[in-house]
Chains A and B, each alone.
Chain A
Amino acid sequence: MFRAILAFSLAVVTVATSDHPIGRAATTGEIGARNLTVFADGSGLPAGSGTALEGKPIFEARCARCHGMRGEGSADYPALAGGIGSLTTTHPVLTVGSYWPYAPTVFDFIRRAMPYDAPGSLTQTQVYALTAYILRINGIVSDTLRLNRTTLPRVRMPNRNGFIPDPRPDVP
């Protein structure tokens, strides 16, 4: 009887000292390590920088076998460059340059997902350099513009105003 009361008391003490009803508190370090979000305005971009000149050899070594030496794509993998101004034609070509509204998304996606067979293997510097190279082959930045957390969000994409909210239902 006494043991049961003691055990119950200990249990109550344990629950009463828990700070959160679900899970445990996240540490700043955990959040920093896991958080990959880069917003359209560039919030979330890490330290580091890169230029298209620096990105070219990385692209040719790590990206070109799927995306082509000039980002023209291949049978199985999408083109990264080209198609600017083609959206209303009979053959729209939708690429990073012709279609994507925000430059920071390029950084975000490469960092998360590329290269396809080794995502997460690139350094922040490499991701900045590749971002610059992909924008360069679309004619959007120069060979030498240094992209970083300040300058990348300032890059204006050709299709920046190309999107509207979903108007459905639209039929009839």
Chain B
Amino acid sequence: MITPSSLHFERHHAGVPRIDPATHTILIHGLVTHPLVISMQDLRRLPSVSHVHFIECAGNSDEEHEGHPAATPQSSHGLVSCSEWTGVPLGALLEAAGVQPAAKWVIAEGADACRMARSIPIAKALDDVIVAYGQNGEALRPEQGYPVRLVVPGWEGNANVKWVRRLQLASAPAMTREEAATYTDLQPDGKARQFSFVMEAKSVIIRPAGGQQLDGPGEYEIDGLAWSGRGRITRVEVSTANGSWRDAQLQLPVLPKAFTPFRLQWHWDGRETILKSRCTDESGYVQPTREELVAARGMQPGPDGFDHFNGIKAWRVAQTGAVTGV
């Protein structure tokens, strides 16, 4: 379930800043009664929470949408990781500042070179967003947002603003470049979906998977990961021979908006076959096929390529035991 911190995927828009925690502050202002400046020392005095959540880049798996299936699970699904995040609920900080009724959005800005900023609806901000300083029991690493970042559970990676330095309560979103243009999803009719926040239910078999080699017919454990930005995974099915799905075992406890490892014992008879998984989440949503996604969304690449691809991923096992992506 937990990605070792040093292996958590990394993405930035203007490099990794070097920030002195002794002088770093978060400014809370805008439609609040008490504009505040909060230091790291202030944050560390407050009641904290720890929750396990995945963070996934909106563009994870975009080559799968394109029709160029990647060769290994790292290539096809590598822009997602899962950690235990420790910090202060954003709601507690906003409550201290006194949110005014006209405030509908929180604009979160980072202290990176490009001061990347995203706008978060107030309901989400008050729900489960964490102002996090800890990752898996250690301080955040610089590339993961040291000394403090937002964790916006279940929402696209870009919204999880790293190196956060400013929170502005406003009646409208900022419409920064990232939300006005970059992270939008162009459709065949020329319109583009905006504020497509949630990362939908997704699963992938990581063993046996592309790039690996089976050592002859016999017993194998199929292992994989499933996750959903809408809550808990409730089911993972695996197909080891065309079209026939069996339920895999979910690793307990199943946590919301977190990696859910799954396992299935499999006897390989030595014949060529296809392995794939599909998951269901607590909203009833079932992970779709690539064909279903392309039918619904088309093939117009947006500024970030094809975001939010969560289709079923297939691996071919050849008679030689070599596993490839298809």
Contacts and interface: CB of A to CB of B under 8 A. Distances in A.
Nearest to B115: A112
Interface string B98-127: 000000000101000111110000000000
A36 B109 contact: yes
B39 A23 contact: yes
B189 interface: yes
Contacts of A22: 36, 38, 42, 46, 93, 96
Interface in B1-59: 13-14, 25, 27-29, 34-39, 42, 46
Nearest to A105: B180
Interface in A31-57: 31, 34-41
B195 A21 contact: no
A119 B190 CA distance: 32
Nearest to A117: B113
Contacts of A163: 184, 191-194
A46 to B, nearest CB: 15
Interface in A1-50: 20-26, 30-31, 34-41
A26 B25 CA distance: 11
B186 A108 contact: no
Contact of A26 (B29, B300, B302): B29
B265 interface: no
Interface in B117-156: 117
Contacts of A94: 181, 186, 302-303
B188 A88 contact: yes
Contacts of B93: 22
B166 A34 contact: yes
B168 interface: yes
Contact of B192 (A120, A162, A170): A162
B37 A26 contact: yes
Interface in B164-212: 165-166, 168, 170, 172-177, 180-181, 184, 186-198, 200
Given A36-B117, A108-B176, A112-B117, A23 B193 contact: no
B288 A172 contact: yes
Q: Sort chain A's interface into a size bin.
A: 35 or more
Contacts of A119: 14, 113-115
B193 A164 contact: yes
A120 to B, nearest CB: 8
Contacts of B113: 113, 119-120
Nearest to B184: A163
Given A20-B34, A21-B96, A166-B197, A88 B174 contact: no
Contacts, number: 159
Report which residue of A39, A40, A167 has the largest number of chain B beta carbons within 10 angstroms of its beta carbon: A39
Given A25-B35, A100-B180, A119-B14, A162 B191 contact: yes
A105 B179 CA distance: 10
B176 A109 contact: yes
A37 B180 CA distance: 13
Contact of B297 (A34, A87, A170): A170
Interface string B296-312: 11001111000010000
B285 interface: yes
Contacts of A25: 34-37
A25 B305 CA distance: 43
A169 B230 CA distance: 11
B293 interface: yes
B41 to A, nearest CB: 10
A35 B166 CA distance: 8
A147 B313 CA distance: 50
25 contacts: A20-B34, A22-B96, A23-B39, A23-B96, A25-B35, A26-B35, A37-B174, A39-B174, A78-B303, A87-B186, A94-B302, A94-B303, A99-B181, A101-B180, A108-B174, A109-B177, A112-B114, A112-B176, A113-B113, A113-B114, A113-B177, A119-B14, A163-B192, A171-B296, A172-B288
Interface of A: 20-26, 30-31, 34-41, 78, 87-88, 92, 94, 99-102, 104-105, 108-109, 112-113, 116, 119-120, 162-172
Pick the 7 closest A-B CB pairs, nearest first.
A113-B114, A23-B38, A26-B35, A166-B196, A87-B190, A88-B190, A40-B175
